Amino acid sequence: MKLFSYFLLLALSAAVLPAQTPAEPTVVKKKRVLAATDGPASRPVVQSSSLVKVNATSQPYNLHLPWQKESPSGRRGLGVVLAGNRVLVTAQMAADATYIELELPESGQKMPAKVVAVDYEANLALLESPASDKQKAFFAGLKPMAVDASARIGDAVSILQTGRVGELIESPLLIGKVLTRRYNVEGSGFLVYEANGIIRSEANSFTLPVVKGGKLAGLLLSYDSKNQVTTILPAPIIEHFLKDVADGSYEGFPGLGMELQATQDEQFREYLGLKSDAPGVLITTIMKGGSAEKAGMKKGDILLSINGYTIDSRGDYKDPQFGALSSSHLVRGRAYVGDKVEIKVIRDGKEVTLNGQLARRSPDDYLVLPYQFDKGPRYVLMGGLLFQELSRPYLDAFGEEQRGGAILRLARIAAHPDKYEEEGRKKLVFLSMVLPTPSAQGYDKLGGQVINKVNGKAINDLNDLAEAFKSAKDTWHVIELDDFPHILYLDTFNAERDNMRLLGGAYRIGSLKRLE
């Protein structure tokens, strides 16, 4: 799913609302807004001086023509002021941003800002403005908001928005579920709240705060206007992010790096040798370089517990605050990189205790890059042949309806990269496009081919490819492919001539490679 698939759908129409609703949004014209409650009791106050508008200009790179950028676009959100004159927003606000500014809702005064910390997996970013007298004056009337991670199922919270002239708008919601779900990148499940209620349509936004009792309870992730269900990035994840940022060296959220299979089926349990009432789930995949592999876990183990918490046949544990919850939260929400972890498994019919240290795999540690923001895709162009490293954003840019032929083959490799990881490859280099040059005549239908060797040298990433093209033994570059026709030939002299013609030509190519 693309990053922008989470763009908030806030276009509500009064004509389609139910005749009776549990609570209507409240417009508060004073410099404060009341938090939602279920009854007439007095309500705590959220100060409007804890919020600022955030405006950003975004310009990502073109994933299929990697030397180009897409057209710029604007984003708007409502950030939360924290201690130290920093502002919290979702990472969607900061992604591929070329300019970010803060704006006071009532006066319209503006101040440029920059990203000081961002986690695209957890969808959180922290902004600050350069230290100056102007910055001090901008934040002089603003008050930091505290974070409250105490919310439970059944608690009342409120979504906050600002109107045209800065008035605050409150939309009361009720938390109905707590579960884990991917935010906006593959392979990362985090805690979320699901809340029910109507959100008034004021403006499309990539960030809206959620408050409880005058404190920050979360940030809005998405809103389903048809079913009136709001998905919230919760305060426990925000607290984890801020604590990690505080020491000046952000490490991110750890992960075990494994896949589980539920063991609820009675026949399956009998096959595994599990008693009907025994806990445990089957480990089906151990990811290379992850915490689970380093701790000694193996495919086929039956996971019984993590740090003393029993894992049931669904892969859940009993959380003291939220009840039944996915075991992934034990690592991603309740622990930090470097923490010790104790794991109990059944292996060959015997209980085994494993000990390890939690780690996080960065995007660059994956054979297929899971996401990429704020920089252009790596590529090498030779004689009209465009080579790139396979990434999920590249595949996602085609959409599900276009995933046929070579793209479908690459998608299958991305889903099951074990073979190439065992070969020791760092990245999967492939031929992504053939430009119409004399050197590339006849190769125009060969896009999507995985590259194995060039001029006799094994290709484990684009750096290897760039070096291999410097070492042609004869007057030909010999390119060995994974599939038919298995070998391509490029005349070295003609390829260099075509390279010169491509620079600054119709394709607006400014450089023949990007390796940084």
- For tokens 């209980």, the residue is 351
How far is the C-alpha of 260 from the C-alpha of 316, rounded, in Å?
A: 11
Residue 17 has a pLDDT of 31
For residue 256, is pLDDT > 50? yes
Q: What percent of the chain stands above pLDDT 90?
A: 74
294-319 pLDDT tens trace: 999 999 999 999 999 999 999 999 99
- For tokens 């922008």, the residue is 4
How far is the C-alpha of 183 from the C-alpha of 245, rounded, in Å?
A: 20
Residue 34 has a pLDDT of 37
3-state secondary structure 166-208: CCEEEEEEEEEEEEEEECCCCCCEEEEEEEECCCCCCCCCCCC
Query: What letter does residue 300 receive in the DSSP assignment?
Result: T
Q: What predicted TM-score, i.e. pTM, was given to this entire model?
A: 0.87
For residue 30, is pLDDT > 60? no
How far is the C-alpha of 418 from the C-alpha of 288, rounded, in Å?
A: 9
For residue 23, is pLDDT > 60? no
Indicate the length of the chain as a whole number. Answer: 516
CA proximity to 114, closest of 14, 132, 37, 105: 132
The one-letter amino acid code at 200 reads R
How far is the C-alpha of 400 from the C-alpha of 389, rounded, in Å?
A: 20
How far is the C-alpha of 516 from the C-alpha of 507, rounded, in Å?
A: 21
The one-letter amino acid code at 224 reads D
Of the listed ranges 44-48, 177-181, 274-278, 303-307, the least confidently predicted one is 44-48
**pLDDT tier, 27 (very low <50, low <70, confident <90, very high otherwise):** low
- For tokens 């002089």, the residue is 140
- For tokens 């984003």, the residue is 75
For residue 255, is pLDDT > 70? yes
- Identify the structural domains of the chain with CATH numbers, from first to last: 3-246 (2.40.10.120), 258-357 (2.30.42.10), 367-514 (3.20.190.20)
Region class of 162: left (phi > 0), else alpha (psi between -120 and 50), else beta:
beta
How far is the C-alpha of 181 from the C-alpha of 319, rounded, in Å?
A: 16
CA proximity to 250, closest of 119, 64, 104, 69: 119
How far is the C-alpha of 477 from the C-alpha of 455, rounded, in Å?
A: 6
Please state, in angstroms and as integers, the Cα–Cα distance from residue 172 to each residue in 40, 76, 116, 206, 308, following that order. Answer: 14, 22, 32, 19, 38
For residue 205, is pLDDT > 80? no
Whether the Cβ atoms of residue 447 and residue 410 lie closer than 8 Å to each other: no
With 0-12 CB in 10 A as exposed, 13-18 as middle and 19+ as buried, what is 149? middle
For residue 25, is pLDDT > 90? no
For residue 244, is pLDDT > 90? yes
For residue 21, is pLDDT > 80? no
Q: How many CB atoms lie within 10 A of CB 201?
A: 17
For residue 402, is pLDDT > 80? no
For residue 252, is pLDDT > 50? yes
Q: Is the model more confident about 399 or about 228? A: 228
Where are the alpha helices (H) located in 305-362, listed in sequence order? 328-332
How confident is the model over 478-500, as a mean pLDDT?
Answer: 94
How far is the C-alpha of 118 from the C-alpha of 124, rounded, in Å?
A: 6
Residue 77 in tokens: 């959100």
Whether the Cβ atoms of residue 216 and residue 234 lie closer than 8 Å to each other: no
How far is the C-alpha of 159 from the C-alpha of 149, rounded, in Å?
A: 16
Residue 276 has a pLDDT of 86
How confident is the model over 370-399, as a mean pLDDT?
Answer: 94
Integer distance in angstroms from the first to the last C-alpha of the chain? 26
272-294 pLDDT tens trace: 999 888 999 999 999 888 999 99
Whether the Cβ atoms of residue 406 and residue 448 lie closer than 8 Å to each other: yes
How far is the C-alpha of 6 from the C-alpha of 182, rounded, in Å?
A: 11
With H, G, I as helix, E, B as strand and everything else as coil, classify residue 267.
helix
**pLDDT tier, 163 (very low <50, low <70, confident <90, very high otherwise):** confident
How confident is the model over 118-145, as a mean pLDDT?
Answer: 95
Residue 307 has a pLDDT of 96
**pLDDT tier, 440 (very low <50, low <70, confident <90, very high otherwise):** very high
How confident is the model over 36-59, as a mean pLDDT?
Answer: 67
**Cis bond upstream, residue 485 (ω within 30):** yes
Residue 47 has a pLDDT of 55
Residue 191 has a pLDDT of 96
Residue 26 has a pLDDT of 56
